[in-house]
Amino acid sequence: MHRLPANGLFHTPDRQTVIHRAGRARILMEPMHTTSDVQEIEVALPTDLRSARRGRRDVLRHVFTWAGLFVSGAFAYFGVRHVQFSEVWTGLRTSNYWWLAPAFVMLAVSVVIRAIRWRYLFRRETRPPFRPALTSVLIGYFFNSILPARAGEAVRIVALKRLAGTSVAESTGTVVVERTYDTLCLLVLLFVTLPWLPPVTWVHTAVLLAIGLAAGLAIAIVALALFGARPLRFALRALTRFPHLSTERVDLMADNLAHGFAALRRPALALGALTWTMLGWLTLAVSTWLLMLGFDLHVSFAGGLLVVIATSLAMILPSSPSAIGVFEAATLVALNPYGVADSKALSFALVLHALNFLPYIVVGGLLLRGSLRSLLVWPPGSADAQTPHRPTHPGLHESQV
């Protein structure tokens, strides 16, 4: 229990600090004197604040986890309610698994393309090397496979920070742009291939999604062109209420976040990123179609692309680790217009999901083990001190936020 003056401040002459009601402390340069007119009030100390915030984070994490499990359970139920599991087993037992080899090769190529694409979303002066980018992508896929709600996206941002010294805020901006370009390219591929596809019942939903995405993208581009980082500074200003986040630091975070949106404002970056994005999705579609050959589904390459589009758009929703249930249900929905029986489609979906799950667990786990020290420890002279980025604010380094 501390005794605070009526104005809510407690002065400590020996340390020259002021403690606010919220528990934040600021260093003052002039000496202070104890105020005699005080009232007794309990102060929430910083440790208590951290505990409270940790509790709120735990609540949010549990909400996302249970929401993801509910979504996965619902998709799984609707996906398997008409399935004969004996036929699923027959499909698994009689398939030609030699097609897994070329399918895996094309999957690996698509991952390399994704790492290249991520690099192209950065400005040239802050673009990370290829190897840390690829390592971070694979580590992110590893955590996407074992954590709900695509938490691996946040992990790969941290991994790239530790491995290449990139700004967390700028990397976050590139991931937002990456997700936007992914969805946009998937929708474009869907509309372009419609003449070669059987009737798809969810096209109208895709059209609405495309309209909303295009409108949001246009607003973001215009806002960044007219106002630069000012809207982001305004949006992030509430973060100054947290300890250790000064106005200067938050403004720097906003500036770096705006740098991460560079591929929305610079035509050369946008063209390169969109090209690599399209190439990555097409490569993944080839991988899917090659696996289809092993199951004798008699579906064209456009059908493999439709499976990739359906599963990728479905995984926008928060779900369980590795989108279990969501992935299988989306595959069944994509193959239904081709007349593929649900049981046979499910046997294919299970193997396809394993192909897009197990390699990330093995490779990502090995990379994580090899990079564990650099990911968990901030050694002296780490990337924060060594990254040759030009500081944009006095006393703060561009790569520190």
Helix axes 326-335, 46-80, angle to 10 degrees: 30
Q: Tens of pLDDT along the chain (401 residues)?
A: 444 444 444 444 444 444 444 444 443 333 444 443 433 333 344 555 556 556 666 665 656 566 656 666 666 666 666 778 888 899 999 999 999 999 999 999 999 999 999 999 999 999 999 999 999 999 999 999 988 878 899 999 999 999 999 999 999 999 999 999 999 999 999 999 999 999 998 989 999 989 998 899 889 988 988 888 898 988 888 888 887 788 888 889 899 999 999 999 899 999 999 999 999 999 999 999 999 999 999 999 999 999 999 999 988 877 778 888 889 999 999 999 999 998 999 999 999 999 999 999 999 989 888 766 556 555 444 433 333 343 444 444 555 56
One DSSP character per residue, 121-189 reads TS-GGGPPPHHHHHHHHHHHHHHHHHSSTTTHHHHHHHHHHHHH---HHHHHHHHHHHHHHHHHHHHHH
DSSP label at residue 381 = T
Residues of 116-152 as b/e, b for ≥16 C-beta within 10 angstroms?
Answer: bbbbbbbeeebbbeeebbbbbbbbbbbbbbebbbbbb
Helix (H, G, I), strand (E, B) or coil at 5: strand
Which residues are CB-contacts of 270 (< 8 A; sequence separation ≥ 6)?
Answer: 263, 264
Specify the DSSP class assigned to residue 39: E
Determine the Cα–Cα distance for residues 13 and 30; give it in Å rounded to an integer.
9
Q: What is the pLDDT of residues 377-395, one digit of tens each?
A: 554 444 333 333 434 444 4
Give yes or no for a contact between 172 and 155, defined as CB atoms under 8 angstroms apart. Answer: no
Whether pTM > 0.85 for this model: the answer is no
Q: Which candidate, 314, 301, 299, places its Cα nearest to that of 205?
A: 314
Q: Where are the domains of the chain?
A: 2-44, 50-400
